Amino acid sequence: MISNERSALDIPSSFRYRDVFLKGKPKHDRTDSFSIKHPSMDLGRRAKIFSPFDALKGFSDELIKSEKRNKEKFADNGYEDIEEYP
């Protein structure tokens, strides 16, 4: 993770946004116009945005069904089960 506390020597002079990076994150007072227009989001709401979600609803259930069908179909193939590597 890159820290804003890096010295100018750590960042190559060819880095296009070197000066912007070295300025760091802007700090606003709670009463200035920016903070009033753009209040910070509470952690509970922010966590919901980045929480995992099921993008393909029902896909994992279908995979389980398919795996069960295939196990039943190929269970009597005359071969012994092999141990899988951990």
Q: Per the domain annotation, does 37 fall within a domain?
A: yes
Q: Per the domain annotation, does 36 fall within a domain?
A: yes
Q: Per the domain annotation, does 41 fall within a domain?
A: yes
Q: Per the domain annotation, does 39 fall within a domain?
A: yes
Q: Per the domain annotation, does 76 fall within a domain?
A: no
Q: Per the domain annotation, does 5 fall within a domain?
A: no
Range of the domain at 31: 27-51
> What would the two tokens of residue 36 be?
């009033």
Rounded distance between C-alpha atoms, residue 55 and residue 24, angstroms? 35
Q: Per the domain annotation, does 83 fall within a domain?
A: no
Rounded distance between C-alpha atoms, residue 68 and residue 75, angstroms? 10
Mean pLDDT of the region 63-79: 82
Q: Where are the alpha helices (DSSP H) in 1-86?
A: 18-23, 33-37, 43-50, 59-74
Q: What is the pLDDT of residues 2-46, one digit of tens each?
A: 454 556 668 888 889 888 888 888 888 888 898 889 888 888 888
- Dihedral sign of CA atoms 53, 57, 59, 60 in order: positive
Q: What is the pLDDT of residues 47-58, one digit of tens each?
A: 888 777 777 888
Q: Per the domain annotation, does 22 fall within a domain?
A: no
Q: What's the structural domain count of the chain? A: 1
Residue 28 · residue 35 · CB < 8 Å: yes
